[in-house]
């Protein structure tokens, strides 16, 4: 167990790799109740969300979820978040646990100058269970009267699971199909047990923080604090698809617009080690083997359980980001060669 | 948790086995269990000399890196090259095919427990 943002979280229940493979091939159940939930409410809720986010939420209909970044004026990340449109005058932002209080403080201050938009921290009202994997729908369907087959990716419904009110969202952080269920904390333990029970014939496993990290990593999904933070912009992080300019003004827009126009100086890339060795978070990155000063540091890196290779992510100067470019990672007392590869490392076959 | 009686154990969870002038070194069943599935082993070069407590090499699981230490002083005579392709031998057979290195020298200068002593040590650790 590790302490994380005030929660005790298991790194693994049985074996990290077994849990990882269960999610890729069958299903895994994560308790991600530590995630924060912040509601933006009021007649100006949309205007407020448009102000703080680099994505465009204008056309979202109720029941849709959209990924975005909450921006500083520098065009860097306060956090990355999933925005859920609950109603015309209400959005629910699911944020990183470690950033919950920072987000609430930042948004509340902004809302003070904003008529008719309120920021409400609902984190204590929600537990979150994520059932992820190709068999997720089959396992969850008997527990709910809602027709899950009709629920498309990045949509959600407010419905019923085991007789309890739940937000059922077809979203996730693993690169597999699956659901994120938001329920009252008191309902979570029963739901947890029931899903594991019902899922047992399907090979479902409880999965911990360790597998969550390797799964999202293989899928090329950024982790705040590793791959993105308050010094990186979405354009540098390869998240240009969440940066929109065909919308009104928003925080950080001018910086992002300039960066888009002039081109970024560095970019987050995926890499594979050319020699044995595992590059991990924080290891120095060198452009040439005998360089004495690192050009950057590995943001995430591990042995990929699905692909069986040592893979990593790092920021490199734009001229070194082409696929195939060779560079070096300092692994303890040696410098090991690596090369730029395409992100994501893994993507599921869509049916 | 197996603890063979014909081996000696360091408090840093390495085991040693003395055969003539050669000391085989591995990690205990307990240690591999704590580490999880080993996916990469970094071994020292043959001929390198180590003092007691020096870092001999590293064992990596998906989630963590951990060092293993020289339980005795000596020069590296041989390393288990099978681990390059089958690092999981450290998990599957920690006292046999999952051995790590052979050092020259003797148990002198190292501090070791016998199987019963190591068992007691583990019980205290987990208490």
Quick: pLDDT tens for A33-70.
999 999 999 999 999 999 999 999 999 999 999 999 99
Give chain B positions within 8 Å (CB) of A280: 65
Q: Give the tokens for residue A128.
A: 């979150």
Of the three residues A124, A156, A187, the one that is the final residue of a domain is: A124
Other CB atoms within 10 A of residue A150 CB: 8
Residue A181 sits in a domain whose CATH number is 3.30.1360.120
Quick: pLDDT tens for A243-260.
999 999 999 999 999 999
Give chain B positions within 8 Å (CB) of A20: 62
A231 assigned to some structural domain: no
Mean pLDDT taken over chain A? 96
Nearest C-alpha neighbor of A75 from the set A260, A251, A227: A251
- Same domain membership, residue A81 and residue A155: no
Percent of chain B with pLDDT over 70: 99
Q: Would an 8 Å CB–CB cutoff place B63 in contact with chain A?
A: yes
- Same domain membership, residue A116 and residue A42: yes
Average pLDDT over residues A217-223: 98
A318 assigned to some structural domain: yes
Q: Would an 8 Å CB–CB cutoff place B62 in contact with chain A?
A: yes
Of these ranges, A6-15, A106-115, A243-252, the one predicted with the greatest mean pLDDT is A243-252
Chain B interface mutation, best of A16, A19, A23, A333, highest count of B Cβ atoms under 10 Å: A16
- Could you tell me if residue A339 is left (phi over 0), alpha (psi between -120 and 50 degrees) or otherwise beta? beta
Of the three residues A124, A142, A161, the one that is the final residue of a domain is: A124
- Same domain membership, residue A11 and residue A147: yes
A351 assigned to some structural domain: no
Cβ–Cβ gap B60/A17 under 8 Å:
no
A151 assigned to some structural domain: yes
Cβ–Cβ gap B63/A276 under 8 Å:
no
Cα–Cα–Cα angle for A40, A80, A132, rounded to 5 degrees: 100
Residue A116 sits in a domain whose CATH number is 3.30.70.1400
Percent of chain A with pLDDT over 90: 93
- Cβ burial of B119 (10 Å; 0-12, 13-18, 19+) is middle
Of the three residues A124, A139, A164, the one that is the final residue of a domain is: A124
Examine the pLDDT at A351 and tell me if it is beyond 80: no
Predicted structure pTM score: 0.92
Task: Output the pLDDT for position B45.
Answer: 95
Quick: pLDDT tens for A77-103.
999 999 999 999 999 999 999 999 999
Quick: pLDDT tens for B69-111.
999 999 999 999 999 999 999 999 999 999 999 999 887 777 8
Quick: pLDDT tens for A254-296.
999 999 999 999 999 999 999 989 999 999 999 999 999 999 9
Mean pLDDT taken over chain B? 92
Spell out the domain ranges in chain B. Answer: 8-126
Residue A293 sits in a domain whose CATH number is 2.40.30.110
Distance (Å) from the C-alpha of residue B19 to the closest C-alpha of chain A?
A: 31
Q: Would an 8 Å CB–CB cutoff place B34 in contact with chain A?
A: no
A131 assigned to some structural domain: yes
- Same domain membership, residue A59 and residue A22: no
A48 assigned to some structural domain: yes
Number of domains within chain A: 3
Distance (Å) from the C-alpha of residue A330 to the closest C-alpha of chain B?
A: 14
Contact pairs from chain A to chain B, CB under 8 Å: 36
Examine the pLDDT at B64 and tell me if it is beyond 90: no
Distance (Å) from the C-alpha of residue B5 to the closest C-alpha of chain A?
A: 28
A136 assigned to some structural domain: yes
Task: Output the pLDDT for position A114.
Answer: 84
Distance (Å) from the C-alpha of residue B11 to the closest C-alpha of chain A?
A: 23
- Same domain membership, residue A293 and residue A154: no
- Same domain membership, residue A91 and residue A22: no
Instruction: Give the residue numbers spanning the domain of A103.
Output: 36-124
Q: Would an 8 Å CB–CB cutoff place B33 in contact with chain A?
A: no
- Same domain membership, residue A208 and residue A321: no
- Same domain membership, residue A318 and residue A277: yes
Percent of chain A with pLDDT over 70: 99
pLDDT confidence bin for A347, thresholds 50/70/90: very high
CATH of span B8-126: 2.40.50.100
Task: List the single residue in B with minimal CA-CA distance to A278.
Answer: B40
A230 assigned to some structural domain: no
- Same domain membership, residue A94 and residue A172: no
Asked if A9 contacts A208 with a C-beta cutoff of 8 angstroms, the reply is yes
């Amino acid at each position: 167990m590790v302490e994380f943002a005030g929660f005790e979280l298991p790194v693994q229940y049985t074996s990290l790799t077994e849990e990882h493979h269960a999610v890729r091939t069958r299903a895994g159940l994560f308790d991600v109740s530590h995630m924060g939930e912040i509601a933006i409410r009021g007649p100006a809720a949309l205007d407020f969300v448009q102000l703080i986010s680099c994505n465009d939420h204008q056309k979202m209909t109720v029941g849709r979820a959209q990924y975005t970044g909450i921006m500083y004026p520098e065009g860097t990340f306060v956090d990355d978040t999933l925005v859920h449109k609950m109603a015309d005058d209400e959005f629910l932002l699911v944020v990183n646990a470690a950033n919950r209080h920072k987000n609430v403080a930042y948004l509340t201050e902004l809302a003070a100058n904003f008529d008719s938009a309120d920021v409400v921290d609902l984190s204590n009202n929600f537990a979150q269970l994520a059932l992820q994997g190709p068999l997720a729908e089959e396992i969850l369907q008997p527990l709910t009267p809602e027709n899950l087959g009709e629920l498309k990716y990045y949509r959600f419904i407010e419905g019923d699971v085991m007789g309890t009110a739940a937000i059922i969202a077809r979203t996730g952080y693993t690169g597999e199909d699956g659901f994120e269920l938001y329920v009252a904390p008191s309902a979570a333990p029963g739901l947890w047990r029931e899903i594991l029970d019902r899922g047992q014939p399907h090979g479902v496993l409880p999965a911990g923080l360790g597998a969550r990290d390797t799964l999202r990593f293989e899928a090329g999904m950024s982790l705040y604090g590793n791959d993105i933070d308050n010094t990186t912009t979405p354009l540098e992080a390869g998240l240009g698809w969440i940066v929109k300019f065909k919308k009104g003004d928003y925080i950080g827009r001018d910086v992002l617009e300039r960066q888009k126009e002039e081109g970024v100086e560095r970019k987050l890339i995926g890499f594979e080690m050319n020699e044995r060795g595992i590059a991990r978070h924080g290891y120095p990155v060198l452009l040439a083997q005998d360089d004495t000063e690192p050009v950057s540091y590995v943001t995430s890196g591990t042995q990929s359980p699905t692909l069986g290779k040592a893979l990593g992510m790092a920021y490199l100067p734009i001229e070194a980001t082409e696929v195939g470019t060779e560079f070096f990672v300092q692994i303890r007392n040696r410098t090991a060669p690596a090369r730029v590869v395409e992100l994501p490392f893994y993507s599921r076959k869509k049916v | 948790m197996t603890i063979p009686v014909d081996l000696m154990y360091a408090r840093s969870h390495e085991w040693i086995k003395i055969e003539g002038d050669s000391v085989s070194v591995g990690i205990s069943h307990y240690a591999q269990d704590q580490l999880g599935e080993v996916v990469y082993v970094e071994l020292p070069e043959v001929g390198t000399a180590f003092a007691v407590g020096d870092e001999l090499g590293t064992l990596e699981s998906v989630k963590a890196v951990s060092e293993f230490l020289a339980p005795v002083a000596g020069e590296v005579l041989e390393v288990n090259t099978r681990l390059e392709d089958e690092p999981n031998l450290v998990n599957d057979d920690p006292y046999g095919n999952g051995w790590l290195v052979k050092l020259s020298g003797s148990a002198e200068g190292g501090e070791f427990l016998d199987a019963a002593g190591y068992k007691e040590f583990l019980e205290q650790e987990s208490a």
